[in-house]
Structure 1
Amino acid sequence: MVNVLVLCVVLGAFVTFADSCNVNDFNQFNQSNPGPFVACLKDPCAADSEDVALVNCTLYAHCILHENQCYAKYRTEAEYSPMTGILELVPNNGSVDERFFQLGGLGGGFTGTGCLPGGLPGGLSSLPRCPVPCTGLPTTHPGLGGLGGLGGLGGLGGLGGHGGHGGPGRFPFPTPCPSTFPATCNVNAQQPNLLLPLLNPLVNVPYCLRIPCSTSNPCLERNRNACINVPGCYFDMGLANLRQRYGNHIMPGVPVCHLAIRNRKFHQLVSNYLQTSGRPWNGIYTQCFLNENRNQIYSPSPGCYQIHVLQYIGVQPTLAGWPGITNNECYLIDGCPINGVCYRPGQLTRVQVRSGEDTARHNVQTGHNYFGQPMCLNYNPTTAQEYLDGYHQCRQAGCVVDPSITAAILKQKLYQIALTLPVHQQIAFWRGVLSGQIRADNYKQHMRQNACPSGPVQPTVIAPYSLNLQGRSFNPSNLFNPGVIRPQCPYQTYQNLLTGSTAGCCQRNLCYTPRSSILRSASGVAAYQAEWGEYSTCTASCGGGTRKRSRPCVTYRNNDTCVQGMAEETHRCNVAACPQYGNWGGYGSCSLTCGGGTQTRTRPCLPEGSTCQDDVQGGASQSRPCNQIACPTYSAWSDWGDCSVQCGVGEKTRTRTCTSPVGSAPCNAALLISTQSCATSCGTCQRTEGACQPYNKCYKEITTLCVPDAQGGAYCPNCPNRTVRVRCVMSIAWNDYCRFCHDPRVQCLPVST
């Protein structure tokens, strides 16, 4: 919840506004008469909140799902009439003139203790800042009342009402000449309704292009009179009333008190008038002041002649205004109307301008950021060349490129350009792109064909370049594709409750001037930092190394330098600890018992799964010789002997001799004899087949058995001792159910045992 206590002076009386916002206050909605559609924000008290997605609408208590749209609920707040602040000047008794156009004392009932706000022309209470209430200030001069004949313009001339009853005064101004400003404006104070048109701006700046009169004075957003008494500023009463009802659901980021007249000559003339007259400004006289100084204000400024210079040297001047802007409106926003286009003037002292950057733009993708950014150059690319040329022209003009035009997008377009080159140029061109030497500003220079190669051209092409766009290819013409997630355009008239313009506010400008820098923007040539090149190879594979990348400064004919951002960037890389070997294990057994064998030991590479490089001790294993003594000499094996049994399984043996010279390894007795199993068959394999059994057995038994021979031995390797059952049929008669054992309805006994 946001609470700001604002104390503002309103028309001679002190009014306290408690500008509070609590999300729980937004709880009203009329199903039968919902009014204009107001998109619901996640936080109606924040100026940069995101839209609530339709699927999440019911999750927020201050939102309501109605007719398949997520509406914002509203709060019950008093609305202000266009006459608010003007009617307060007219009391229940007394003359209008003597109250509205006082010059000396407060007259007509105010006697000495009131606070007239600084002698403002017309008696309107409004200061550029919030004053502290003053009461009981001493007065030294008698009041002059309404002074009949000095009404009309705040006591400064014209036919006014009869003089009021003068009280002790504070501001004894001499009577000015009635033929000078503001006496010549002929403001009729007796009909306050005629003052309302004077509060409307002469230039209807679209909502998306409005800039605040002050970012530090909250009075201006809450007090119309305080707003219009700042030169060039106007108060949007309709927007203020909708904000009272819906909070920041209504066009967040758009100021209620906005600077409409930005003409530098106008502000200079106003400043001169205020210094010579000694009086604060009154917005009631803005139209009259513009009319009296129209020859100076509605004329090209000296910076407008720089436009032709820029066009001559091939640099595009930056745009100002909006679709359908008139010449007079262009002058009022300090532009240069040339051939039906409103440009920003150049600077008189130098053609160079500062490179554009949008530090005020938040990362959150709100409708205020997404739509209606002030167009700087017309940048709506469809081809690779339009992408690259438009990007360079936008940056060179000091404008800001929309964040959707990323370095990866530009690289993809350069890749497409590379594919159009002759085959023998493609690799070199693409390597230049990756190194940062070929960019949007100079790619055409590298497209010029070099000398023809002397040998045959090899059909080598560059590898495909992949650009991860989450399955979607980027195309500005598809920015409004329903499949692309984007916020809703917040700029609308809400069923004509607002009278301001929305011209060009629901389009997305890819080359724009940040709203925060509109007043200090100018046409010219900017030096800018190009996109970053590829990182160099890391200086170490592990243990912490560094890698660098750079971006050049793009200048116009090398006559400027970049003052923003770094030209080189260094990052740490491969910071993980290098793999290293652990401790050695013990040596294993010798591979041979004599004659020279080897034994091995190993050590692990840590951490597990890593790959270690060889060090002074070698790699992961070490070997050494063992058992170097000579081996004894063994003779050849003898023939196998007879099997050890006459019937059954036994073993047979063979032998050899060994000779061991002095100094050799001793003979191994176990190696002098070798045994092998053997078998001798005996006995007879007998097979007996039984009779077929009737239903429901329907089987016969077959028995195999090894029958001992005359000596009593029985070893028949291929004659297992077993009995098996096989299905059989006793006869072929139709009533022998054994014939139907295959049918599951016939209950024959199983043959398995």
Structure 2
Amino acid sequence: MDSSGAKVTARKSRTAHCWLKIEAGVDSTILPEKCREELRPQTMRKCENRPCSSPWMTSEWSFCSAECGSTSVRIRHVECRSPFCLGEMPSTTEICTHECTYKWMRYPWSQCSDKCGGRTFRKVLCLSSEGQQVADSFCTDKKPKTSRRCGRNCAPFWQIGEWSICSQTCSSEDQLALSYRSVKCVSTDHRGRFRPENHCQGPRPEKEKKCDVTTCPISWIFSQWSKCSVSCGTGVITRQVSCSKRGKCSGPIPDVSKSCELGSCPHMKINCVDVPGINCPVVKKYGYCSNATLKARCCETCSE
């Protein structure tokens, strides 16, 4: 290369002179014109040398700084071994092009938390191909389960609910104050399915019990009034009436029924017409609508 960095061809040269041989051992150069030009030897030709190597000396690339990812790079050593290192210096760093892959790492399941209806757990992490833990969002596959049910070989059992509040604040012979709760035989297949009561071991727990409340005073007990027996006009409403202690209530029995008024019923319009050719207004005027035959023929007029 020349000083500008352009590539040049290497050549070698020699001189050729025209000589005159005077006698043995005596010769002398003479003018070139005295020699035949076509016999003049070649004075320049290309060198047969191998191409010149780069003056820059580079080492082997190092290993990538990470197995994958855009931040992974490798480096090498570059130095000039000639005073004529022209042009741009070769790169000393290079980005590694290996993309990272991410996979779920499953740890072993823990021991079951209970022999009957328990759960077992495990840790599941998203790891890069380098083995580094990353956020779960990097793993594109569905995350494996981190818990599951275990301890399934159990007999059905009694599932008992909480006692309810008492049905009333006092108790009498006819109406006891009671508290209730749900009692069901449940399977242990983790779906909470009910089983026949004979599948559960032992006697069934009580579903109801008497409340420890005071005795109700003797009085008339009556229910709410019913709805009116008709949708329009005059009807009747009723209710149940009893004594809190049979035969011990004094005074007259409260009414068990009474009338109810829901307004006048609308008149039903008869859908009929008069027969042509009959003077129906006259029939109605003189009271002949009471005649079944004339009423049928003057249906519309007689219905007004």
TM-score (norm 2): 0.26
Q: Which has the larger radius of gyration?
A: 2
TM-score (norm 1): 0.12
**Which of the pair is proportionally richer in helix?**
1
**Which of the pair is proportionally richer in strand?**
2
